[in-house]
Structure 1
Amino acid sequence: MMTLRTFPVLHDLSDSLFADRFNRIDRLFSQLTGNTPLPAMPAYNIRRLADNRYELTLSVPGWKESELEIETVGGQLNISGKREEEEKEETENSEERWIHRGISRSDFRASYNLPEHVKVTGASLENGLLAIELLQDIPEEEKPQRISINANSVLEHKP
């Protein structure tokens, strides 16, 4: 399962309204068919920590560090989860059987387009939450500059 999503540094209202409509349609069909809706990707939060620091947090309950991979390639942040083979075999061959398994353990891949000048500075996994630290480092020459207007100068035209 692969999801490509533009990474919003600032909340995009239209995107969330559009996504919400699809979520409602998915829930409606799920009620009619009795199937559980499948999330397109792990649930996530984006939090501003400071003027130029952000944190992207993904919900990945039950995943181990060794099963998760984070990489950046050409301005794109890719996060994937792949279950270890021994765990797959253990689940299939064991006499242990799940009565209910509501925590998704399907392999996943989520991709985000990072805005220009945003870099990943670190990541941590704690209590089923994968936190990815982001830094927006805009060079001084590209930052907005205020230009003062000198009201006292008058241009004169000389013939």
Structure 2
Amino acid sequence: MSLHDFSAYPSLTDAVFSDRFNRIDRLFSQLTGDLPVSFKPPYDIRQMDENRFALSLSVPGWKEHELEIEVTGGRLTIVGKKEVKFDDNRSAEETQGGWLHKGISRTDFCLNYAIPEHMKVTDASLEDGILTVGLHQELLESQKPQRIPIHQKAPEALEQKNG
């Protein structure tokens, strides 16, 4: 399970270190033949306009009934579970022979995002292997950033004393 804080301004250093860890994990997985420690589909966060965002996950081959999206207590949870297996522990897709190589991951996953209380999930769609979750930021005027002007103090006039 992965936990992410959703922010309109994600930390660049978090992304860099997370990406490095994921690359190392994938490299060792390729060398050993094991599955990566934690599979999570790649995702993008895009700001559509001032108050709307889109979270897009790459989920090729997944069907709508295999994906669940839930919002509870400030947590957005996206779960992917494969179809039910047959008695011989093979899925319906695997029973159809002819595979020479299977490189597209169909590993179950669970992603969690902490979303601020003023952000609401508006919709979700699955198209061409991309799951898109729409988010809307509802800020009150008192919560919006305010620019504070800096006033410059007028210089005092120098008085000349004749003495």
Q: 1:21 to 1:145 in 2, by over 3 A?
A: closer
Any stretches of 5+ residues in structure 2 without a counterpart?
153-163
Q: TM-score, structure 2 length as denominator? A: 0.77
Matches within 5 A, 1:38-57: 40-57=39-56
2:92 corresponds to 1:90: yes
Contact map agreement 2:74 2:117 (CA 8 A) in 1: yes
The residue number in structure 2 matching 1:132 is 133
Q: TM-score, normalised by structure 1?
A: 0.79
Please give the residue correspondences for 1:3-152 in structure 2 after superposition, counting only pairs within 5 Å. 3-30=2-29, 32-33=31-32, 37=36, 40-85=39-84, 88-91=90-93, 94=95, 96-145=97-146
Runs (5+) with no aligned partner, structure 1: 152-159
SS at match of 1:85: coil
Partner AA of 2:128 in structure 1: N
The Cα offsets for residues 66-92 of structure 1, whole Å up to 9 and x where unpaired, read as: 111101000000001112216854245
Quote the Cα distance in structure 2 between the aligned partners of 1:149 and 1:26.
50
Instruction: Measure, in 1, the Cα distance between the counterparts of 2:43 and 2:36.
Output: 17
Which of these two proteins has the greater Rg computed from alpha carbons?
A: 2
2: CA distance, partners of 1:66 / 1:35: 27
Contact 2:39 2:107 in 1 (8 A): no
Alignment deviations for residues 23-64 of structure 1 (CA, whole Å, 9 cap, x no partner): 343255346546575663110011110011100000011111
Q: Among the aligned pairs, what percent are the same residue?
A: 54
Kindly report the root-mean-square deviation, in angstroms, between the aligned alpha carbons of the 2 structures: 2.8
